[in-house]
A and B are shown apart, each in its own frame.
Chain A
């Protein structure tokens, strides 16, 4: 089955990282560990990855990064007091699509 998404690691530096015109052309999904999901086989997405100096990852590599971040966040949440837990949500596992 053809890939519908591609992944890269890039740190969101703030203003200019995703510009309006990027957002109009590309469907972004920001994930834990500075992992970004963008469309595969997409010239605009490829140009954006180059612009932000993104390091392209396979789906499995990206999944490993996300899993590590989510596990750490879950452990932090588990250590919270009951009062703090009541006011927040335990981070959920994230399964990346091909």
Chain B
């Protein structure tokens, strides 16, 4: 095997401390920490493929993180769930109700699913990482709503209580029951949501048939206008927090991705396969998009988002 000197023409320096301004690609041995280090250049944001869903892939709802996500409900299985470990999806516990087009919140081992277009539109189910339990129903049953928060402090906002009816209702869940929150400025459905119960974000959505560039911010009691997105969206995915959010996919530009800093939206790397009616999990630095409608039909693909990173000094793992 070639040595570093044979490849680079120089030896790796042995230094008692890291050089003050290493150049990109420079490698050195830090004799104090007994580690090999190198300077990595800045990297841009990127989507990469993750493991493909094995069951339902449409109208599913996601929660959790990039390396521990949950997919719940959706077509064709309706009551199925799947758990992602950062590489592959495996079957989780079945839901009590056939479910699709609801909303989800929480993490993989403590997730909440609420709303439905299959049966009881006011349903709420809690997942403990193994099995689902029915909880108290929402005051306003609906589908095509958005959600945010955790299993014990969730938020439901917007949606369609019935055919041709759209609501502005917001409800807050405390781990047991739902109470009314501040209403959205206007009725909206097929919006996406992220954040927490007291700092949530609603983005995109519609009164039919078009989407919107608008986002709305919730402070625990009322909604105000947030930043304007660069593209119109409905049925998109969302991840992150109110002040650090990611919007991806949806209609009519299913590959477009944007990042929000709490005041303005900026375009970032596109999905490699456009995803309408998609869902997601995670944060702006490590998000997940899975399922939906790709170009030409339903897609079981998963994509992992990793944010841009500045140049940094890294340590080489040596075994």
Q: Please report A residues at the B interface, Cβ cutoff 8 Å.
A: 12-24, 27-33, 66, 69-70, 72-73, 76, 86-89, 91-92, 94
Contact = CB atoms under 8 A, between A and B. Distances in A.
A73 B274 CA distance: 16
B251 interface: yes
A89 B251 contact: yes
B101 interface: yes
Contact of A14 (B296, B297, B302): B302
A69 B251 CA distance: 20
Contacts of B50: 14-15
B117 A87 contact: yes
Contacts of A88: 58, 277, 293
Contacts of B273: 12, 28-30
Nearest to A11: B52
Interface residues on B, range: 20 to 34
A91 B52 contact: no
B124 interface: no
A33 B306 CA distance: 27
B107 to A, nearest CB: 21
Nearest to B52: A14
A22 B304 CA distance: 13
Given A29-B255, A30-B273, A73-B296, A87 B59 contact: yes
B293 A32 contact: no
Contact of A18 (B48, B144, B277): B48
Given A19-B49, A94-B295, 16 more contacts: A13-B52, A14-B49, A14-B302, A15-B49, A18-B48, A19-B48, A20-B48, A28-B272, A29-B255, A30-B272, A30-B273, A30-B301, A32-B296, A32-B297, A66-B296, A87-B117
Given A15-B49, A91-B297, A24 B272 contact: no
Q: Which 10 A-B pairs have the closest CB atoms?
A: A32-B296, A30-B273, A73-B297, A28-B272, A23-B46, A14-B51, A17-B49, A18-B49, A20-B46, A20-B48
A66, A69, A91, A92 interface centre (most CB from chain B within 10 Å)? A91
